[in-house]
Amino acid sequence: MPQSNDSILQAINLSKSFGGLKAVHQASIDVKNHSITGLIGPNGAGKSTLFNLLSNFLTADEGQVLFEGNPVQNLPPHQIARLGFLRTFQVARVLSRLTVLENMLLGTQNQIGEHLFSVLLQPKKIRKQERESKEKAMNILESVGLAEKAYDYAGALSGGQRKLLEMARTLMTNPKLILLDEPAAGVNPTLINQICEHILSWNQQGISFLIIEHNMDVIMSLCSHVWVLAEGTNLADGTPEEIQNNEQVLSAYLGE
C-alpha cells in the first residue's frame, strides 16, 4: 500500500456490520496534513460509524487506519488521543454536573499527578502542572468566549456552547487532527459563524480537521476537499464545487 507523506490520516477499506446491517462497507478516506476535509452523506450513510472506526471507539471488522503513516487500529481511544488524534461526538459528551473548567481539565491526560510515585515525591511539580493546566484551560476558554462560564455547570450551557466546550477540550491535548461530528447541528447561526472562525484559526495554527456536517454553507466555506459516503461506502470525493455539481451525490440526497 503506497503511503503519501502529506496525509495525516488514511483509512483503507474499513467495514463494520451491526447484525446483518453493513453500516460501513469498505470505506476509504484520506485527510491531507493541515487540511480541513469534509465528510458528508445522507442520514444513516455511516458517517458517525466511520468516525468511531477511525478513532477506535468501535473495532472494525476489516480495514486499516493510519495516523501519520502508523497503524492505530489496535490502540485504545485514549492512546490515540495522546498521539494528537482527537474527536468530538454528534451529541456532545460533556459532564453536566462538572463545571466548564473541570470539563476542560478532563482533557489533560498523562499528568505526572496520576502516578502515586510522583504524588509522594514531587508534590511541587504536580501543583505547578495543575496550575499550568488550569491556566491553559482558561486561555482556551477565553479564546472561544466561554471564560465567564468557567465556574458554571456544563449542564447549564446551551447545546451549541456544549459543542464549543467539547471542541475547546480537544485543544487541551495538543491535537494534530480533530474529527468533528456535526459541529453546527442544532447550533444558532451566530454561534455557527463563531465556530467556523475558530476552526479556521485553529487550522491556521496547524491543526488538521475532518468534519461531518449537513450544513453545506459550513462545508463549502471551510473545506478544501470533501468525501461523500452513501449506504456505508464511498460515493465520491473532490473539491466542494465538484461535489456540489456531482449528479450521483445529488441523487443520493434526493432519496432522503
CB of 60 to ligand ADP, least distance (A): 13
Q: Walk across the sheet containing 225-230 and list its strands.
A: 85-87, 177-181, 208-212, 36-40, 225-230, 233-238
Beta bridge partners of 47: none
Instruction: Note whether 45 binds ligand ADP by CB under 6 A.
Output: yes
Write out the binding residues for ligand ADP, residues 46-65 only, by CB under 6 A: 46-49
- Residue span binding ligand ADP (CB under 6 A) among the ranges 37-45, 66-74, 110-118, 126-134: 37-45
How many other CB atoms are found less than 10 A from the CB of residue 214? 15
Q: Which of Mg ion, ligand ADP, none sits in contact with 49, Cβ below 5 to 8 A by type?
A: ligand ADP
- Catalogue the long-range contacts made by 161-165 (C-beta closer than 8 Å, 24 or more residues apart): 161/191, 162/92, 162/94, 163/88, 163/92, 163/187, 163/195, 164/191, 164/194, 164/195, 164/198, 165/92, 165/94, 165/100, 165/103, 165/104
Choice from 14, 23, 40, 230 touching ligand ADP (CB under 6 A)? 23
Q: Which of ligand ADP, Mg ion, none sits in contact with 18, Cβ below 5 to 8 A by type?
A: ligand ADP
CB of 47 to ligand ADP, least distance (A): 3
For ligand ADP, give the closer residue by CB, 21 or 250. 21
Give CA–CA dist 30/226, Å, rounded.
10
- Residue span binding ligand ADP (CB under 6 A) among the ranges 40-48, 59-67, 134-142, 171-179: 40-48
DSSP secondary structure string for all residues of 113-143:
GGSHHHHHH-HHHHHHHHHHHHHHHHHHHHH
Instruction: Note whether 48 binds Mg ion by CB under 5 A.
Output: yes
Instruction: Note whether 25 binds ligand ADP by CB under 6 A.
Output: no
Q: Which residues bind ligand ADP (CB under 6 A)?
A: 18, 21, 23, 41, 43-49
Q: Which residues bind Mg ion (CB under 5 A)?
A: 47-48, 90
